[in-house]
Structure 1
Amino acid sequence: MDRAPPAEGQRARRAAFARGLDAENAAAALFEAQGFVILARRVRTPRGEIDLVARRGELLVFIEVKARTSFRSAAESILPRQRKRIAGAAEIFLADHPECASLDMRLDVVLVAPDGPPVHLPGAFEAE
């Protein structure tokens, strides 16, 4: 049975998904090079998704990865609504993983663009 080629929109979604995975892999490699262990990827909660969760010693980091055509557009894409969503998802993660509740916590962002290596913004925002 012959299959029709994917529609243009479907191809674009697949390409965006692949770029997102590549960006997350680059961010994970950046954290691993700094001595972190990646505990989880693409954590889905009722309040939203966390791209990466990493730990080094007593520090637990929730990481949002933003891949765009430029670092500026990646940075500008982190809106207050999104920061609130990430903080809420982190709260749910901690409730589901009580062994992590006593750790220091940080919310970081990694910006990924084709014109350079990933940019890590430690403590990019606070939980509200």
Structure 2
Amino acid sequence: MSGITSYHAGLSAEDAVAQDYQRRGCTVVSRRWRGKGGEIDLIVQSGDGLIFVEVKKSRSHGRAAQSLSRHQMDRISMAASEFLGTQPRGQLTDVRFDLATVNGIGEIAILENAFQEF
């Protein structure tokens, strides 16, 4: 897959995942939020808490999940901490880190609290 094709496939996957969270009653707060620590694909609000979502697309859910490295998780965590500095409750905000995978036929799987699994 060329770089531009991969980029557009990633945007499409993020769109689908954002819609999935909205169907679950969440509100999308930000997409591709970039801080000094890195980028967060999606930030969604669920009740009083926030969910930081990393979206991965590949031929299979397993392959997509394997592409998330500890280094990426650390960068996302740093960016999330920076984002929380902009929120009324700051670091006291309830948070969760999810991994959303999209397979080759567009099916979505969400692993809640994914960063605790590694």
Aligned equivalents of 1:39 and 1:85: distance in 2? 19
Runs of 5+ consecutive residues of structure 2 not aligned to the other structure:
none
- Root-mean-square deviation (CA, aligned residues, Å) is 1.5
Superposition deviation, residue 14 in structure 1: 1.3
Using the aligned pairs only, state the percent identity. Answer: 35
- Unaligned stretches of 5+ in structure 1? 1-10
Please give the per-residue CA displacement for 1:85-126, whole angstroms capped at 9, x wherever unaligned: 11011001111x132524210011100111451001111114
**What are the within-5 Å matches in structure 2 for residues 1-128 of structure 1?**
12-95=2-85, 97-101=86-90, 102-115=92-105, 117-126=107-116
Tell me the CA shift for residue 33 of structure 1. 0.6
Q: For residues 25-53 of structure 1, what are the alpha-carbon distances to aligned partners after superposition, in whole Å with 9 as ceiling and x for unaligned?
A: 01101100100000000011111100000
Structure possessing the higher radius of gyration over alpha carbons = 1
The letter for the 2-side match of 1:46 is K
Say if 2:38 and 2:79, in contact at 8 Å, map to a contact too. yes
Tell me the CA shift for residue 81 of structure 1. 0.7
CA shift, 1:79, in A, is 1.0
